[in-house]
Structure formats: structure tokens, C-alpha cells
Amino acid sequence: MTSTQNKGKAIFRVVSGNFLEMYDFMVYGFYATAIAKTFFPADSAFASLMLSLATFGAGFLMRPLGAIFLGAYIDRHGRRQGLLITLGLMAIGTLLIACVPGYNSIGLAAPLLVLLGRLLQGFSAGVELGGVSVYLAEISTPGRKGFFVSWQSASQQAAVVFAGLLGVALNHWLSPEEMGDWGWRVPFFVGCLIVPALFIIRRSLEESPEFEARKHRPSLGEVMRSIRQNFGLVLAGMALVVMTTVSFYLITAYTPTFGKSELHLTDLQSLLVTMCVGVSNFIWLPVMGSVSDRIGRKPLLVGATVLAIITAYPALSWLVAHPSFGNLLIVELWLSFLYGSYNGAMVVALTEIMPAEVRTTGFSLAYSLATATFGGFTPAACTWLIHALDNRAAPGIWLTGAAILGLIATLNLFKAKGAASGRLQTAS
């Protein structure tokens, strides 16, 4: 077996759990309206939906804690063992959401148990992305780090497509009433059923040679001290991540809700667009990861953020003025290109700026803070902005703000010619 074959198998094994993490998040976003009616009944549909989306966002608040504690565990005990733990926590959270009876059956316990499931998912996800990204960076071949690390995000797109396909099938087989009553639970049960296979796949994962060669394994206290010393770098990394996490959740998790509630498209049309976005993301991410290996990270980061600032709000304004399946697809595919261009360079750049001894913790904390404060609340923020501003194009404002922050972070990180910036500017 060749080295390339070995590394291809390692990529598949490590991203398999990443697939489940994103699948779980997607199906919650896809069926937020049905979940709202089941667990969060309220006098108005807007209030019910906001409660459901806020619970979706609440899971992201646990990510920083997962990043710190699980990240420190992985930096001390290894990538393989920590990634098995995150998979188990994700599975428990998914099972809770799938099985909890509705509000009409058990009252307040229903939304509380759903919230607990989301918090468990968020805690595990806090280090899942970082653990996978760092592992891929450490096993990459010279000059191809961007391409290797891009498969972390690409695996998420496979989850988006799979969740979308399942949603299309369910909408074909079941009536809208059946989907609202119980059909939305089916994707969660499917997620539970694939967990055993993912455990078997991930258990065969080998530890990264770079981690095994490291003589010193930092304790939790040492990790915390290093994070405090490098917290400015973590905050800069957080700002860098905001653009990618906002754009991702806008074009995937929020699309079904936006298409149905604001553009008055059918569930099937919105899910088909989301599937196309997932395919588009899956193509652009490794392509742009490879491009960043050739030309460096900065050109892609700057170019994507500038284009987003210029086009995001005008594109959404045009869409709401001319709502249709085709126009939603055009706008979403454009935003997918911007996301793929930015994220293809951003994730690998984030692994490169973090100190090696706390790479998983630092990466995960930066990513988790961005997701907890901006990205995870994108569906709720967009829904509120539309309502508050009486402007259905308001999600474009949210994305523009994220792009501005990403541009500032990029220029700040690349301004200095020190060691960290030098690693970023040189294609690794």
C-alpha cells in the first residue's frame, strides 16, 4: 500500500465523525419550523420559530468550553482518543433530540431535554473541527497542507447533501402534515443508526506521527497558561473565522427557513437549493485549498471578503425583489463560491498561526468563539433582522458585516512580517 493510499484512508477515517457532527446540525436547521411547533409552542409563529432557532444557537455557546477542556485532552492524550470521545457525545445529543416526546406530552421537560441535547452536541463540536483540522495538517504532505485540511470542511458538505437528499425523499413520501407531526424525526434517527459504523471507522485511526514525536504533552494548566499568553492571537483567529461560519450557516442551515418563510417557496425547492449548495461547496473547498497552497492564503482571504462586501446585500435585495427557485439557486451558488474561496484558505491558515503544543485547543477556541458569538446564531439573527427592519434582504447585511470583520482580521494578521505572518504568507 502506497503512502498516498494510507493518507487517503486516514482522511476518510478522521472526517467521518465530522460528517455526523455537521449532519446533526443541518437537520436541526432544516426542520426548525417543525421542531418549533413540537417543542416550543407559542402564541405567534415568529416567537415559536425564534425559540427553536435560539436553541439551535445555544448549542454553539457550549463550543468554547468543549474547545478548552476537550482540546486540552486531545493536546495531551492524542488526536485519536479525543476524536472518539467527541463522536460519543454527538451521538448522545442526537439521540435525545430524536426521542424526546413533544411539549403536549411532557410539557416543559420537552424543550429542556432538547436544549440538553443541543448543549451536548455543541460541547463535542467545540473541538471536533479543531481536532480534525489539526490532524489533517499534521499528516499532510509537503506543499499540500491547504488541500489536506480542506477535506475537513468538504466532509461537512457531504453531510449537507446527504441531509438534503433525505429531506427531498421524505417530502416526496410524506404529506406536509406528516412531516410536521413526526416525519422530521426520521433524519435524527438515521443519524443515530450510522453512529456504530462511524465508531468502527474512527477506531482504526492511527495517531499522527507529529504528535507521537512530541516529547512534552502539556497538562490542562499548561494549556490554559499558553492560551492566556496567546489570547490576542486567539481573538484574531476568531475574527478570521466569523466570515466563514456566518456564510456557511447562511447558505446551508438557514436556506430552507428563508426559502419557505420569506420567499414562499416549497420545502422541496428550498431543500434542492441547499443540496446544490452542498455540492458546490464540496467542489470549491479542495480546489481553493489547493490554490492557497500555490499562491498563499492572503490573496484568497482578501479577494473573497472584498467580493462579499460588494455583492452580498445587492444579491439578496435582487432575490427578494424577484423570488423564484432559479434566482435563489443563482444567489446561493455565488455565495457558495465566496464561502469556498475564503474557507479553503482560512482553515489551514488558522492551523498555521497556532503554537504547536496547544494547536488543537487554540484552533478550537478561536473557531468556537466565532461560532458561538456570530455563526451559530445566524439563522436567529437573520430572522430577527428581517422582522426588526421589515427587510427580507437583511441577511445580506449580516453577511456583509462578517466579511468586513474577516477582511480586517486578515489584514491585521498579515501586516506583521514575524514568524506567524511569515508562515501564513508562504504556501505550506
Q: Domain extents for the chain?
A: 12-203+220-425
Residue 99's nearest CA partner among 123, 120, 117 is 117
Place of cell 430577527: 384
- Residue 251: per-residue pLDDT: 93
> How many CB atoms sit inside 10 A of residue 323's CB?
14
- Residue 276: per-residue pLDDT: 92
pLDDT tens per residue across span 17-46? 778 777 887 787 778 778 888 888 766 777
Burial of residue 4 (CB within 10 Å: 0-12, 13-18, 19+) is exposed
Does residue 49 contact residue 32 with C-beta atoms inside 8 Å? yes
- Residue 79: per-residue pLDDT: 66
End-to-end CA distance of the chain: 26
- Residue 214: per-residue pLDDT: 66
HSE, side-chain direction, 13 A CA sphere, residue 89? 23
- Residue 2: per-residue pLDDT: 47
What DSSP line would sit under 212-270, residue for residue?
HH-S----HHHHHHHHHHTHHHHHHHHHHHHHHHHHHHHHTTTHHHHHHHTS---HHHH
With b meaning 16 or more CB within 10 Å and e meaning fewer, what string describes 132-151?
A: bbbbbbbbbeeebbbbbbbb
Cell of 31: 426542520
Tens of pLDDT along the chain (428 residues) come to: 346 667 777 788 778 777 877 788 778 777 877 888 888 876 677 777 777 777 777 777 888 888 888 877 877 776 667 777 878 888 888 888 888 898 888 888 888 888 888 888 888 877 777 778 878 888 888 888 889 988 888 888 888 888 888 888 888 888 888 888 889 899 988 988 888 887 787 777 776 666 666 666 677 777 778 778 878 888 889 999 999 999 998 998 788 889 988 999 988 888 889 889 989 999 999 999 999 999 999 999 999 999 999 999 999 999 999 999 999 999 999 999 999 999 999 989 988 887 776 777 888 888 888 988 888 788 889 989 999 999 999 999 999 999 999 999 999 888 754 444 444 444 44
pTM of the model: 0.79
* CATH number listed for the domain at residues 12-203+220-425: 1.20.1250.20
- Residue 421: per-residue pLDDT: 41
- Residue 399: per-residue pLDDT: 97
- Residue 56: per-residue pLDDT: 73
- Residue 244: per-residue pLDDT: 94
Report the distance separating Cα 376 and Cα 55, nearest Å: 10
